[in-house]
Amino acid sequence: MGEKPKISIENMTKVFYKKNRSVTAIKEISIDIQDGEFVCLVGPSGCGKTTLLRILAGLEKPSIGNFTISQDKEDRPLQSMVFQEQGVIPWLTVEGNVAFGLNMRHLPKDVVKERTSYYLKKVGLEQFSNLYPKDLSGGMKQRVSIARAFANDPEILLMDEPFAALDEQNKFILQEELLSIWSETKKTVLFITHSIDEALLLSDRILLMSSQPGKIIEEKVIDLPRPRNMEQVRADKEMADSFVEIWNHLQDEVQSSRN
Ligand SMILES: Nc1ncnc2c1ncn2[C@@H]1O[C@H](COP(=O)(O)OP(=O)(O)O)[C@@H](O)[C@H]1O
Ligand SMILES: [Mg+2]
């Protein structure tokens, strides 16, 4: 502790203006995330999770407040993002997609080749490197996005419900693949999910958001030993209690937003 956080968000508020209306998407959010930490952001739909991630990705500007991402290596991108869907470029092959960011940075061909095939192997796509996205399943497309994000070697990874559209079996497999790559690379990850199970499995720490305007209302450290899998999460008494606690919080938030 006492070290400089990898991501520091200070008193951030975002207001959207639409014609004569304004929407406060997030309000006075302050978060510090340490280097190598895996943090999940959980909150009801519409509470501003994507907005916060888009701000960190540089796609939106905060109305108030600021953030910093500490840059350890100069020649590396600040952040890579993985979305729920549509993260692959349709006219590039699997390999081309994973190599895309590296090629944009004009890295030497052999470095691109090596790094691309390393991460393709990690997500089990090496035999599919010449396929195009139209020939891939949803799970395979998400694997491509994850391989690309890690291959870019960014300072931090931002993931917005990357597994939300997948079936349960695929989801479990991808969650474990992600954890395996993460444990090797020790990247700082901010991961959005509305699945409490997923947050318990993946996180060092869970941040719970209120309904609109999104604020951080609760923080939970998850100290289940790693490597983890979903069976362990389901079998652990403390995790079961955490599940209920988070569940109740979310219910309250959804309820209060209705009133
Ligand atoms: N570009 C935008 N213009 C206007 N309103 C927006 C825009 N983006 C998001 N919002 C609004 O901000 C709120 C939070 O949205 P979002 O960040 O997508 O929530 P979440 O990802 O938690 O479901 C919603 O009410 C949404 O309609
Ligand atoms: Mg969202």
What confidence tens digit (pLDDT) does each residue in 203-259 have?
Answer: 999 999 999 999 999 999 999 999 999 999 999 999 999 999 999 999 998 888 887
- Secondary structure element (H or E) that encloses residue 189, with its range: strand 188-193
Whether 49 lines ligand 1, by a CB cut-off of 6 Å, is: yes
Q: What is the pLDDT of residues 60-114, one digit of tens each?
A: 999 999 999 999 999 899 999 999 887 899 999 999 999 999 999 999 999 999 9
Does position 1 have pLDDT exceeding 70, yes or no? Answer: no
Going by CA atoms, what residue is nearest to atom 24 of ligand 1? 46
Beta strands across the sheet bearing 38-42: 79-82, 156-160, 188-193, 38-42, 205-209, 216-221
CA-closest residue to ligand 1 atom 4? 16
Assign 3-class secondary structure to 85-153.
Answer: CCCCCCCCCHHHHHHHHHHHCCCCHHHHHHHHHHHHHHCCCHHHCCCCHHHCCHHHHHHHHHHHHHHCC
DSSP characters over 211-233: SSSB-EEEEEE----SS--HHHH
Q: How many CB atoms lie within 10 A of CB 222?
A: 19
CA of 216 to the centre of ligand 2 (A): 16
Q: Is 48 in the pocket of ligand 1 (CB under 6 A)?
A: yes
Determine the distance separating the centroid of ligand 1 and the alpha carbon of 175, expressed in angstroms.
26
- Cα 56 to ligand 1 centre (Å): 15
Q: What is the pLDDT of residue 2?
A: 56
- Indicate if the pLDDT at residue 131 is higher than 80: yes
Tell the residue nearest (CA) to atom 8 of ligand 1.
Answer: 51
Q: Which helix (H) or strand (E) holds 7?
A: strand 7-18
Atom in ligand 1 nearest the alpha carbon of residue 17? 4
Return the number of other C-beta atoms located less than 10 Å from residue 120's C-beta: 24
How many Å apart are CA 220 and CA 248, to the nearest integer? 14
* Sheet with 64-69, edge to edge strand ranges: 21-33, 7-18, 64-69
Per-residue confidence (pLDDT) for residue 176, from 0 to 100: 94
Q: Which residues contact 249 (CB under 8 A, 6 or more apart)?
A: 208, 217, 218
Which pLDDT does position 196 carry in this prediction?
95
Mean pLDDT of 159-181: 95
Residue 109 identity (one-letter amino acid): K
CB of 45 shorter than 6 A to ligand 1: yes
Q: Which residue's C-alpha comes closest to atom 17 of ligand 1? A: 48
